[in-house]
Structures are given as structure tokens and as C-alpha cells.
Amino acid sequence: MPDHVEIMFRPTMLNGTLLYDFACVFWNYDVSDWSTDGCSKGNASDGLLRCFCNHTTNFAALWTYREKYDYAEALDWISIVGLSLSILCLVVTIGHHIKENFQINSTEETNNMNSKMAQLCIYVSLLAFIITFLSGVHNSSRQNDAPVEVDETNNIIPDSDERVEPDRGSCTAVAALLHFFLLATFMWNSVYSTLMVLLFWTDSGLPPHWSIISHAVGWGLPAVIMAITLGATYRVDSPLGYRQEEFCWLAVGDNKDFNFEKPMFWAFVLPVALILIYNIVMLVLATWRTNRKQNSTKPSWREILSSFSLAVLLGVSWTLGYLVLASEGTAHLVFSIVFCLCTTTQGLQIFILVTARTPSFQASVSRLVRYISSMKMNLNKRFHNLTKALRKGTGSESYRDLEDQQESMF
């Protein structure tokens, strides 16, 4: 007679899940609960869970699973190239913006300085978001999909059905920073649009303490929303209530289904939707007031282009994100590609529509081109002289002159 009974179970795994661990148990009527007394577990191979018990009763295998994530890679290259271009363009834009707009000492330019400061904050927050996104959006400590080696000596009943990797802190910090910087970009867009409307509609200028109020709204309100979201949904032992596992961004829902109770909706999608609606209203009012002041019934091409550049600053391209959330199948893929192209190149769009069109930037580029051209002509002239000297070389003295000319080139 064998001293134990071998039982085999074939687990039925949900779609998108993998076996993580299991325990061999029996139902203990004395305590009305599962117990591992007298049972041990074997290996888990060929889709079978092997259990061994030294008694006969009601047996079961309790297993825990983990999510199997399909990591998105189709849009990686578009994102990397677009965001890299945006970083370069935003650095140039910020440098030019500071150089040209923050050397005014006249008190008569206070309103203009507030406008330029709001624009600068938009550029800085967007640049910080892009740098943080590129450097840390992929969770470096995420679980992989490799098969787990079951510990046959450890027959412990799991605490829950789903295995969640313990939080190491870095991914949650990146998610919080991304949440803050992106909300700050949108919030500063609102500050900028409000400022434009006030300047167009009133002759008395901005309200008192506008600078303090604008910074409190632009930086403070996103920080408050981020802190409330983090405090309400984050737990060290269950970080996925706040963020995703595969990407360091706000939690969306289970099995990729959008969940309105997750922070992605009420802490980001909803606030951004309200901000975009507000910004569009401000944009319409500002454009209409500009045309009224110019006594023009039909806006010029320059006015249309100016309104379009303002619309880019107000985040109109992000409205495509709502089409991504609302679509499925082929339409979802198309909207995802268009959304990725529009948002990752937003720094490039700002550079083309705002910075590159300014006369001061064009003048700086012209000076740089003339300088490079003059340097090239000078180098060509020196090279020509070196060639002539080499052909006429008459001894060591010529070679010495040749060396002096070579040194003068550098």
C-alpha cells in the first residue's frame, strides 16, 4: 500500500494570465476551511498540478496567477523619434524665448512679461514631461512572461488569486511625475488662454497679484491633484490601484478595459477634458476679439496661422486621445498612430509655428548661416594657399611656413 495519494489537477487559466504558484489542500471540516496538513505539492508540468497527501478526503489545488501583458512595441519608433525631435526643438525654443523676452526692465511691459512667462512654463513643463517619459515610462522592474519555477517545498495557501509584484518605488515615482508635468502643461495652457482673453477684452490690464495667482494655478493645482490621487489609490502592497504594471502611468482598468473608477479617468481624462473645453472657449473669444479690434470681417492668413499655433499650445491635438479611447479594431489603430504622431511631435510643432516664425529667430539663423559661410570661405582660401605652397615648396623653410599655416587654421 502506498503511504500517500497522488492527485493531479489541470488548472483552467483565464485569458491573458499565467500560473504563478499553487498549494495542495484539503477541506478541514473541523475548522471549516482549507488546510495543507499532510499534503505536499509536486511539480507543475504539462499543464498539470501534482499533489500528494497521506490521507483521503476532499482535495483541491488553490493557485495564484499573474497577468500576461502584451507590451506595445508598434509605436515605439514613432514615439522615440518624435519625442527626441521635440526635446531638441523645445530646448532651442526655451533658449530663444529666454534670450529675447526676459531682458525688459520697463514697468510698462508687465502684461507682456506675464504672457511670456506663461509660455515659458508651458515649454518647461512639456519638456520635463517628455524627458521623464523617455527615461522612465517603461517599468524596469516589471514581471516578465517567463515560466515560474514552482517551489515544491513551500506548500502555503496563497493570500489572493492574483500575484502582484511588490512596489519598488521608482515606477510609482515616474507615474506621479508624468501625471504632474502633463497636468501642469494643460493647466498653464489655461492660464495662458485666460491671460490672452483678459488682455484682449479689458483695457485695465491684469488683476492684482496675477503672477502669484497664475503660478499657484499652473503649478499648485496639478500638484494637489497628483497628491490626492496618489494618497487615495496607492498602496505599497497593491500599487496597481494607482499605476499600471507594464508602464509607469495611471491605472486604466483590468484586462485593458477602461474603468471609470480608476485614476486614469477621474484624475486625468476628466480634468483634461474640462481644461480643453475651457481652452477652446477662450481661443474662440480671443480670436473673435482680435478680429473685432482690427475691424476685419475676414481674418487674414497670418491671423488664421496665429490662431492655429495658439490652438496647438492649448493642446487641441490631445483631443485625439478621446477618439483612441472610444474606438476599437482598425479605427483604434489608426487613431493611435495619428495621436502618437501629433502628441510626440508637439515640441516640433511649437518650434515651427511659434519660434521659427519670429523675425528675431530668423535673423539669428541668418547670422549663423553667414558666419558658417564665411568660415567655409576662409577655410577654402587657406586650403588653396596651402596647395599653392605645397606645389612651390623649395626647402625646409617652405615646409615651416606650411606648418605655420596649418596651425593657424586650428
Using CA atoms, how far apart are residues 119 and 97, in angstroms rounded to an integer?
A: 9
Using CA atoms, how far apart are residues 9 and 144, in angstroms rounded to an integer?
A: 25
Amino acid identity at 101:
N
pLDDT of residue 295: 47
Sign of torsion over alpha carbons 91, 97, 103, 105: negative
For the chain, domain boundaries: 5-67, 73-160+169-228+272-364
**Mean pLDDT estimate for the chain:** 79
CATH assignment of 73-160+169-228+272-364, given 1.20.1070.10, 1.10.287.110, 3.40.50.720, 3.30.70.1290? 1.20.1070.10
Chain centre to alpha carbon of residue 51: 47
Average pLDDT for 300-318: 56
More confident of the two residues 227 and 319: 227
Separation in Å, CA 249 to CA 7, 76, 199, 245, 340 = 43, 16, 37, 9, 16
Average pLDDT for 80-97: 93
More confident of the two residues 337 and 300: 337
Average pLDDT for 71-80: 72
Average pLDDT for 356-375: 85
Secondary structure in 3-state letters for the chain: CCCCEEEEECCCCCCCEEEEEEEEEEEECCCCEEECCCEEEEEEECCEEEEEECCCCCEEEEEEEEECCCCCCCCHHHHHHHHHHHHHHHHHHHHHHHHHHCCCCCHHHHHHHHHHHHHHHHHHHHHHHHHHHHHHCECCCCCCCCCCCCCCCCCCCCCCCECCCCCCCHHHHHHHHHHHHHHHHHHHHHHHHHHHHHHHHCCCCCCCCHHHHHHHHHHHHHHHHHHHHHHHHCCCCCHHHCECCCECCECCCHHHCCCCCCHHHHHHHHHHHHHHHHHHHHHHHHHHHHHHHCCCCCCCHHHHHHHHHHHHHCCHHHHHHHHHHHCCHHHHHHHHHHHHHHHHCHHHHHHHHHHCCCHHHHHHHHHHHHHHHHHHHHHHHHHHHHHHHHHCCCCHHHHHHHHHHHHHHC
pLDDT of residue 296: 45
- Cell representation of residue 403: 606648418
Strand partners, 22: 63
Residue 108 has pLDDT above 70, yes or no: no
Residues 6+ apart with CB under 8 A from 101: 113, 116, 120
More confident of the two residues 198 and 262: 262
More confident of the two residues 107 and 214: 214
Average pLDDT for 331-347: 85
Phi, psi of 139 (to 5 degrees): -70, 110
Residue 169 has pLDDT above 60, yes or no: yes
- pLDDT tens digits, residue range 210-260? 899 999 999 999 999 999 999 999 988 788 889 987 788 998 876 556 788
- Cell representation of residue 127: 519638456
| CB-count exposure of residue 171 (10 Å: 0-12, 13-18, 19+) | buried
Residue 106 has pLDDT above 50, yes or no: no
Please, which pLDDT band fits residue 300 given cuts at 50, 70 and 90? very low
pLDDT of residue 283: 73
Q: What is the pTM of this model?
A: 0.76
End-to-end CA distance of the chain: 94
- pLDDT tens digits, residue range 12-70? 766 667 788 889 999 998 888 999 998 988 877 777 888 999 888 888 998 887 776 65
